[in-house]
Chains A and B, each alone.
Chain A
Amino acid sequence: MTSPAASLATTELGLRARLDLPRRITLLAAGVIVAIVLLLLVFITWNGVQLFVASGVPVAEIFSPTWQPDAGSGPTSFGLLPFIAGTLGVMAVAAVIATPLSVGLALFMAEVAPTWARRITQPAMEVFVGIPSVVYGWLGLTLLVPYLRTNLQGLGFTLGFSWFAGSLVLALMILPTITSISYDAFLVVPRDMRAASMALGTTRWQAIRHVVLPAAATGIATAVVMGMMRAAGEALAVQMVIGNRPVMPTGLTAPMTTLTSQITLDMGNTVAGEPWNQALWTMGLVLLVISFTFVVIVRRLAGRRIAA
């Protein structure tokens, strides 16, 4: 920049380009994400539709409740309904179990806990998030399932492997997700609001119940949806405890299966190109559609929060 030109405006193109270089390089790095998403969409979609395109299975068939992929044992049927129902079912029950606990814990951390208690719960949540899903699965397999089988057989847990076991393990896994997001939602509610309520002569619980909770409602909804998203996509932990029976779910105590479990189990036993294998890719595509639906819901909720 020791150019003798008196003008302050740099006309030299080379210098401009050089100054712009870092922007271009960093943009390239950030752009890798976009490339990955596009590649992923292409690969999963392409492989996911082969069942219909290459093997000629009618699209409507995947909504059948019958899963009989083995051509060696009679006419095949690629009904994915048991897996979709299983995924949504196990997710819903997990959310039902985890939500009250998580929101309660978040409320505790945001509104009730003295400093010393917060110093315990905060790192505890971080460790909770960090524990790998296989560890939860292993725990479910070696503790929960045998417990259900031996002690609660009377309730119908003949095998232990069950919808309920899957949901309970998942609930534990999504608990920190829901907790931390709803905790953030509570923190955003101005402290003044609680004081205003209590200055009118309400109890703390009334302030929480009638001011803080309504104000944080969208945030809590986002938290629950994020938790459900994680639950729907979780594979190994669920697969280890759910029993993997490819039929429509019959009850909380009975074994069933999910999209992720079936992919996990069958991927290694099938050959690329055969309809059975293609159906597994279709399951992957369905999973992708489910999680993108959740993303859209989260975006909607975020939009509402900004509008409010």
Chain B
Amino acid sequence: MDSKQGASPVTTTIAPVTVKPAAPLPVLPSLQPALTGIDPHAPIKLRARDVKISYGARVAVRDVTLDVQEHSVMAFIGPSGCGKSTVLRCFDRMNDLIPDAAVQGTIELDGQDMYASGVLPVEVRRKVGLVFQRPNPFPMSIYENVAYGPRRFGQKDRARLNEVVERSLRHAALWDEVKDDLRKSGLALSGGQQQRLCIARTLATDPEVILMDEPCSALDPIATLKIEELIAQLKVDYTIVIVTHNMQQAARVSDCTAFFTLGEDRAGYLVELDDTQRIFTNPAHQLTEDYVSGRFG
């Protein structure tokens, strides 16, 4: 992945998003990815085009087209079962681990197709980190948890490792709480601390994008608040996509929000993507309006 592919033909052809006329759905007239986010001129980090994910014969999600800008936070909201997590995991190629899961369409990271043949899932996952729904630290010490990634990538130098561990823990706002007992088991921490440890573990691998799959659903309100503060800080250095069930959370942490729902065919699809503020105050789509005002889901 070290060789820049430069201006690949793919990137040039899909610059302005056009809604496919063949799409059977009343799809998103408001979807204007280039307008979302904070800085309209920020480069696009993640780009999905007509993504369809199926498990065997069952289509889980279809017609997902969206752009995530660099250094922004995008939230995925929607009723359970609408495929938000499935889409999220596509950006990390984690669906590859499920037998008979198939991804169609294109997903690009920095303009490069991450599903192209020759691209290794391992490489993608190093650039894109994933934080799971339930905190899942490894059954080892706090230090080893954070050092795990760098060690696997061949970092053996003790001083360098110490430095990475400290930096990652600081970045994850956990350092002050654990700096005196790094040898303690990661499983001995509280739920909220465990989740921040998992974030630190991801940061230590030096990713560019961090995906979070309902990272606060197993946490109490105070721990949730800490994670939310953390997300605001991390945005400076990373691009973040977060799946959440909690609409207040989406409103608090994200720059733009994508609303998914379940179609008549039991497959999820992207209804609307816009500025978070607009999604919650003046959405273009009736389904979105119903969902965010609590009439649905």
- A residues with a Cβ closer than 8 A to B are 114-115, 190, 192-193, 195-203, 206, 210-211, 214-215, 308
Contact = CB atoms under 8 A, between A and B. Distances in A.
Given A199-B125, A199-B202, A201-B127, 18 more contacts: A114-B99, A115-B99, A192-B132, A195-B97, A196-B201, A197-B148, A198-B94, A198-B125, A199-B129, A200-B149, A200-B201, A201-B124, A202-B149, A203-B122, A210-B151, A210-B152, A215-B138, A308-B139
Contacts of A203: 122
Interface in B121-180: 122-127, 129-130, 132, 134, 136, 138-140, 148-149, 151-153
B94 A215 contact: no
B148 A201 contact: no
B205 interface: yes
25 contacts: A192-B134, A192-B136, A193-B136, A193-B138, A193-B139, A195-B94, A195-B136, A196-B136, A197-B148, A198-B94, A199-B92, A199-B94, A200-B152, A201-B124, A201-B127, A201-B153, A202-B122, A202-B149, A202-B152, A206-B152, A210-B148, A210-B152, A211-B138, A214-B139, A308-B139
Q: Which secondary structure dominates chain B's binding surface?
A: helix
A215 B153 CA distance: 21
Contacts of A215: 138-139
A193 B135 CA distance: 10
A202 B150 CA distance: 10
A66 to B, nearest CB: 51
B64 interface: no
Given A199-B92, A200-B152, A214 B132 contact: no
Nearest to B185: A308
Interface of B: 92, 94, 97, 99, 122-127, 129-130, 132, 134, 136, 138-140, 148-149, 151-153, 198, 201-202, 205
B138 A201 contact: no
Nearest to A308: B139
A214 B140 CA distance: 9
A201 B94 contact: no
Contacts of A211: 138
B153 to A, nearest CB: 7
Contacts of A193: 136, 138-139
B148 A200 contact: yes
Contacts of B127: 201
5 nearest interchain CB pairs? A201-B126, A199-B130, A201-B125, A192-B136, A200-B149
Contacts of B152: 197, 200-202, 206, 210
Contacts of B123: 201
Given A195-B97, A206-B152, A210-B152, A200 B125 contact: yes
B97 A196 contact: no
Contacts of A214: 139-140
B153 A196 contact: no
Contacts of B129: 199-200
A220 to B, nearest CB: 15
Contacts of B153: 201
A190 B205 contact: no
B108 to A, nearest CB: 18
Contacts of B201: 196, 200
Contacts of B138: 193, 196-197, 211, 215
Nearest to A115: B99
B139 A201 contact: no
* Chain B CB within 10 A, most for which of A192, A195, A202: A202
Nearest to B205: A200
B148 A198 contact: no
A270 B140 CA distance: 58
Contact of B149 (A114, A195, A201, A308): A201
A211 B140 CA distance: 9
A286 to B, nearest CB: 39
Contacts of B92: 199
A195 B138 CA distance: 11
A193 to B, nearest CB: 6
Nearest to A190: B136
Contacts of A308: 139
A277 B202 CA distance: 68
Contacts of B205: 200-201
Contacts of A192: 132, 134, 136
Contact of B198 (A196, A198, A201): A196
Nearest to B94: A199
Nearest to B150: A200
A200 B139 contact: no
Contacts of A202: 122, 149, 152
A114 B98 CA distance: 11
A15 B68 CA distance: 75
Nearest to A211: B138
A195 B132 contact: yes
